[in-house]
């Protein structure tokens, strides 16, 4: 038996266009490197602004070993803090969401205001200076209503995304949407297997018949190109523009977070992603009619969105630990839509709820096979290009950080 390759040697041995070596899913040292160099260094979707509109409104987001509090302060701004007490490290906020005028640590009762400042700590010595024990601040940014956090004080820039995605996001009026439903799907598999599955539709025809009957993404590129015409002809009259933006993964500008936008036709006769392809909510923005398409937005490495003409589905993939991940899905509608009058939650959620439940099984079965002694990497198909590029980006980022002494532990 040969000597085991170190991580850098393993990265260099990766064959382009092939799936990853088993160790990328099972090696604790690789997972630790991913936490430090990928997961904590990239933006992750945390909320839509409509979920935290009033002073004191907060949400807690958990990503692997980290926990963040996002709160609306008294001056109306959004702040994000590490959910870690500065006394002895307990979680400060145990609720997922709510409204409060202060955060009190449940362990020893240290109290923080909405600005993260420590305002009360019992029985501390006279030399104790509360101003030195504020909650640790996290990076937070808002892109046309979408709230993102990052667990580093030097996150990638959103400059290009804010400029290039302004027009497509304005078409759907993202700033004036609201979350009609959300659901978390625990997945007993490494986070990369979860995202790799989302990145490709090679499996869609086999595994997702309800999705495949309406989405042309289940076709290969050559066949898909031939069925776009009916959407392209209707776009302008419906109030949409034909826009394509690709700064995703390997195409991201230096120092910037990757992002992208495109729109693809549904099969003729389908207007949106629903049981029968018929509307499930009022049209978004200033749309005049359904063009028969669905738009894909990409925001960094962990957040993906599918925008139909009447609702938007947000998918956020995050690790829990090396062997577990989760997918959190948000369903967004226009903010003046009324539940049970303009939309029904079950109808809105139906397609991507059943699709994600099926994906959970697929991904876990993939994990079981990948962990077998018989697993060997295999070649990607032509319908797995996005997955292949995503893996290429991961390897590039890991290799760069290994080679950069600043990021070495």
96, 91, 71: which is closest to 147 by C-alpha? 71
> Same fold for the domain at 44-140 and the one at 157-374+378-385?
no
- Both tokens of 62, joined, read 């958990």
- The whole-angstrom separation of Cα 163 and Cα 170 is 12
Alpha helices, DSSP H only, in 244-287?
Answer: none
9-29 CB burial, b ≥16 within 10 A, e <16: ebbeebeeeebbbeebbebee
Residue spans of the domains in the chain: they are 44-140, 157-374+378-385
How far is the CA of 336 from the CAs of 50, 177, 274, 342, in angstroms? 12, 8, 21, 9
Closest alpha carbon to 348 in 295, 272, 271: 272
For 70-109, give one letter per residue: b (16+ CB within 10 A) or e.
bbbeeeeebbbbbbbbbbeeebbbeeeeeeeeebebeeee
CA distance 109 to 120: 8
Does 3.90.380.10 match the CATH number of domain 157-374+378-385? yes
Residue 220 phi, psi (nearest 5): -75, 165
Taken in order 213, 215, 220, 221, the sign of the CA dihedral is positive
Q: What are the helix (H) ranges across 139-220?
A: 159-164, 166-171, 191-199, 204-207, 209-212
Measured at the CA of 193, the angle between CA 261 and CA 217, to 5 degrees, comes to 40
What tens-digit pLDDT sequence spans the chain (409 residues)?
467 889 999 999 999 999 999 999 999 999 999 999 999 999 999 999 999 999 999 999 999 999 999 999 999 999 999 999 999 999 999 999 999 999 999 999 999 999 999 999 999 999 999 999 999 999 999 999 999 999 999 999 999 999 999 999 999 999 999 999 999 999 999 999 999 999 999 999 999 999 999 999 888 888 888 889 999 999 999 999 999 999 999 999 999 999 999 999 999 999 999 999 999 999 999 999 999 999 999 999 999 999 999 999 999 999 999 999 999 999 999 999 999 999 999 999 999 999 999 999 999 999 999 999 999 999 999 999 999 999 999 999 999 988 875 544 3
The CATH number corresponding to 44-140 among 3.40.50.20, 3.30.1180.10, 3.40.220.10, 2.102.10.10 equals 2.102.10.10
Do residues 333 and 282 touch, judged by C-beta distance below 8 A?
A: yes
């Amino acid at each position: 038996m040969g000597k085991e390759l170190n991580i850098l040697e393993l990265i260099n041995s990766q064959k382009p266009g092939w799936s990853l070596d088993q160790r990328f899913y099972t090696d604790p040292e690789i997972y630790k490197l991913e936490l430090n160099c990928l997961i904590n260094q990239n933006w992750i979707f945390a909320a839509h602004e409509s979920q935290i509109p009033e002073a004191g409104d907060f949400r807690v987001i958990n990503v692997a070993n980290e926990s963040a509090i996002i709160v609306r302060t008294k001056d109306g701004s959004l702040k994000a803090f590490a959910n870690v007490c500065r006394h002895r490290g307990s979680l400060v906020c145990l609720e997922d969401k709510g409204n409060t005028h202060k955060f009190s640590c449940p362990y020893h009762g240290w109290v923080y205001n909405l600005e993260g400042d420590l305002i009360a700590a019992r029985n501390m010595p006279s030399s104790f200076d509360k101003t030195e024990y504020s909650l640790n601040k996290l990076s937070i940014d808002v892109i046309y209503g979408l709230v993102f956090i990052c667990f580093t004080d030097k996150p990638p820039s959103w400059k290009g995304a804010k400029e290039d995605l302004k027009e497509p996001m304005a078409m759907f009026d993202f700033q004036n949407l609201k979350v009609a439903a959300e659901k978390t799907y625990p997945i007993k598999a490494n986070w990369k297997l979860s995202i790799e599955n989302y990145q490709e539709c090679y499996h869609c025809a086999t595994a997702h018949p309800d999705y495949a009957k309406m989405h042309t993404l289940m076709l290969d590129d050559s066949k898909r190109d031939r069925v776009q015409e009916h959407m392209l002809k209707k776009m302008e009259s419906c109030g949409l523009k034909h826009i394509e933006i690709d700064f995703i993964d390997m195409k991201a500008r230096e120092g910037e977070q990757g992002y992208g936008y495109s729109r693809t036709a549904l099969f003729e006769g389908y207007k949106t992603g629903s049981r029968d392809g018929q509307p499930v909510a009022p049209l978004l923005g200033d749309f005049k009619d359904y063009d028969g398409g669905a738009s894909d937005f990409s925001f960094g490495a962990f957040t993906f969105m599918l925008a139909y003409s009447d609702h938007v589905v947000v998918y956020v993939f995050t690790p829990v630990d090396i062997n577990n991940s989760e997918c959190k899905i948000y369903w967004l509608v226009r903010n003046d839509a009324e539940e049970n009058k303009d939309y029904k939650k079950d109808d809105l959620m139906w397609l991507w709820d059943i699709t994600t439940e099926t994906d959970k099984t697929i991904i876990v079965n993939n994990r079981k096979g990948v962990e077998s002694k018989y697993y060997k990497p295999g070649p990607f198909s032509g319908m797995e290009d996005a997955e292949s590029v995503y893996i290429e980006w991961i390897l590039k980022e890991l290799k760069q950080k290994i080679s950069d002494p600043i990021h070495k532990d």
